[in-house]
Amino acid sequence: MIERTRSIDIAARIILIVGVAFILAPLVIAFLTATLSYEQFVRNGGITLQVGTHFLDNLAYIWTETALPAQLWNSIVISTLVAAIKCAFAFTATFALVFFDNRLNRIVFGLTLVTVMLPLELVVITTYQIVANIAMPLNWILALTGLGEITGLGSDLRLSLLDTYVGVAAPIACASTSVFIYRQFFLSLPRDLPKAAAMDGAGPWRFMWDILLPLSWTPLVATFMFWFIGGWTQYLWPLVAASTPDAQPAVVGLARLATTEQDRIPEVPMLMTGALFVSFIPVLLIAVMQRQIVRGLNLSEK
The answer to whether position 119 is within a domain reads: yes
Residue 144 has pLDDT above 80, yes or no: no
- Is residue 116 in some structural domain? yes
Domain assignment present for 209: yes
**DSSP, residue by residue, 13-50:** HHHHHHHHHHHHHHHHHHHHHHTS-HHHHHHTTS--S-
118 lies in some domain: yes
Assign residue 160 the CATH number of its domain. 1.10.3720.10
Query: pLDDT by residue (tens digit) across 190-232?
Result: 888 888 888 888 888 888 888 888 888 888 888 898 899 989 9
Does a structural domain hold residue 72? yes
The pTM of this model reads 0.84
Answer for the pair 258, 271: CB distance below 8 angstroms, yes or no: yes
Structural domains in the chain (count): 1
Q: Give the H/E segment covering residue 290.
A: helix 268-297
Query: Does some domain include residue 272?
Result: no
Would you say residue 94 lies in a domain? yes
Q: How far apart (Å, rounded) are the C-alpha atoms in residues 273 and 31?
A: 7
pLDDT band at 108 (very low <50, low <70, confident <90, very high): confident
Higher-pLDDT residue of 176, 84: 84
Rounded to whole angstroms, how far apart are CA atoms 172 and 136?
20
Give 166-180 pLDDT, tens digit per residue.
999 988 888 777 788
Contact present, 249 and 234 (Cβ < 8 Å): yes
Would residue 265 count as lying in a domain? Answer: no
Q: Is residue 299 predicted with pLDDT exceeding 60?
A: no
Boundaries of domain holding 78: 67-256
